[in-house]
Amino acid sequence: MKLSATIAILAGVVLLATDAAAQVSLTPPGLGPPPASKAPAKPAAKQPAKKPAAPAPAPAPAPPPPPEAKPAIPILPNALAAPTPDDPNADLVYGAFQRGQYKTAFDLATKRAQAGDIKAMTMLGELYSNAFGVKRDYAKALEWYKRASDAGDREAMFALAMMRLSGHGVPADKQEAVKLLASSAKLGEPKAAYNLALLYLDGQTLPQDLKRSAELLRLAADAGSPEAQYALATFYKEGTGVPKDPDKATRLLQQAAMADNVDAEVEYAIALYNGTGTPKNEAAAVTVLRRAARQNSPIAQNRLARVLVTGRGAPIDLVEGLKWHQIAKTAGNGDPMLDEAFARLSTEDRAKVEEAVRIWFGKK
């Protein structure tokens, strides 16, 4: 059991509040450099949960990619369908919130909350905690979240747990946070199950229990959480808390990739390329790599560059491949083999690469 590797991947993950970011490091044999080079770059892919949640510092925005359609994720046979999300138009308050009409959402939620609408109470907590349509007020956010939580709303329980866990805007109380997460998870809140799983994995706030962590990840994964699907795939890949099962790992990666989890897209592409837990399909792997590269994953950009420069999985395209190399390099993902290929370009092709990079970053 590669427990240390799994903890390195997952235990350091920021608990899901508004966004989640998972780190992974691996060296896929099938996507390594050609025989002349023995130093493949190690991937280190970076991953969000839905609101309401306690506020967390947002990551710095990445440079916007050009408006290209993302390639579709290749479907494995008998893949499980993702659950259909609730229609936001079914509720006027939530519909206004989704459209960014926060003042309207606040006015509607206030009237409904005063009439005893639990979901409206949770919405008021969200609006107050994030200063959406109203001045930020953690005391009022806490009040509304608690009222909704006491009335049995699982999302309010989760939001309140995250405030207590982080101490953001309120005194930290990890024991209360754990109880709230457990109650919310029991009621079917996937974000709560996911975060509770991380606490059991980390072994600091709670005693480490890998089996319980895997069980909670399964609950969240079955409820459609891409973060949980990705994390559980790592468990199955490493044999952490569950028996090793490459097939299950790959299927979970595919599900998370279909939900735009970039980390999962990168690893799913590697699995397709190498035929790990799924029939080998280099063309499909390149399709997924392109999708992740266009979502600004430096790992996918580097791997796609290698494929296009070496012609291992796709026709050789030096200009396109080295464009992705230069873009990945700006994020710190260097590659000596690709640097050498860039140095051998003709003056004309080098100019094409540089122009393509400028376009990607929105420069004229």
Residue 242 vs residues 22, 25, 234: alpha-carbon distances, Å: 20, 20, 10
What is d(CA 250, CA 175) in angstroms, rounded to the nearest whole number?
Answer: 35
Q: Report the distance separating Cα 324 and Cα 167, nearest Å.
A: 41
Given a contact cutoff of 8 angstroms between Cβ atoms, the answer to whether 124 and 137 are in contact is no
Residue with tokens 């919405």: 123
Q: How far apart are CA 231 and CA 159, in angstroms?
A: 21
Residue range 63-119, pLDDT digits in tens: 444 444 455 554 443 333 333 344 443 478 999 999 999 999 999 999 999 999 999
From CA 169, how far away is CA 21, in angstroms rounded?
A: 22
pLDDT of residue 324: 97
Tell me the average pLDDT of the chain: 82
- For tokens 């909670």, name the residue: 216
Could you give the CA distance from residue 294 to residue 52 in angstroms, rounded to a whole number?
28
Residue 132: count other Cβ atoms within 10 Å of its Cβ: 18
Rounded Cα gap, residues 354 and 329, in angstroms: 13
Angle at 56 between CA 55 and CA 57, to 5 degrees: 130
pLDDT at residue number 170 = 86
Report how many helices (DSSP H) and strands (DSSP E) the chain contains, helices first.
17, 2
- Selected residue with higher pLDDT from 225 and 20: 225
- CB-based contact 354:335 (threshold 8 Å): no
Q: Give the span between the Cα atoms of 149 and 245, in whole angstroms.
A: 38
- The Cα 189–Cα 185 span in angstroms is 5
Torsion 187-190-195-201 (CA) sign: positive
The domain spans of the chain are 1-51+233-364
Taking phi over 0 as left and psi of -120 to 50 as alpha, with beta for the rest, 167 belongs to left
Q: How far is Cα 323 from Cα 130, in angstroms, rounded to an integer?
A: 39
Q: Is the pLDDT of residue 20 over 50?
A: no
Phi, psi of 44 (to 5 degrees): -150, 75
E-strand stretches of the chain: 24-25, 44-45
| Contact predicate 289/300, CB 8 Å | yes
- CB proximity list for 167: less than 8 A, separation 6 or greater: none
Q: What is the pLDDT of residues 179-207, one digit of tens each?
A: 999 999 999 999 999 999 999 999 999 99
d(CA 47, CA 10): 11
Q: What is the pLDDT of residues 108-157, one digit of tens each?
A: 999 999 999 999 999 999 999 999 999 999 999 999 999 999 999 999 99
Strands 24-25 and 44-45: antiparallel
**DSSP per-residue codes, 278-334:** S---HHHHHHHHHHHHHTT-HHHHHHHHHHHHHTSSS---HHHHHHHHHHHHHTT--
CB-based contact 164:172 (threshold 8 Å): yes
Coil vs helix vs strand at 37: coil
Confidence (pLDDT) at 354: 96
CATH code: domain 1-51+233-364 is: 1.25.40.10
Q: Tell me what pLDDT residue 3 has.
A: 52
Structure token digits, residue 213: 């962590």
Mean pLDDT over 274-294 rounds to 96
Q: Which residue do the tokens 């080079």 mark?
A: 37
Q: Are 63 and 46 in contact (CB under 8 A)?
A: no
Higher pLDDT, 350 or 79: 350
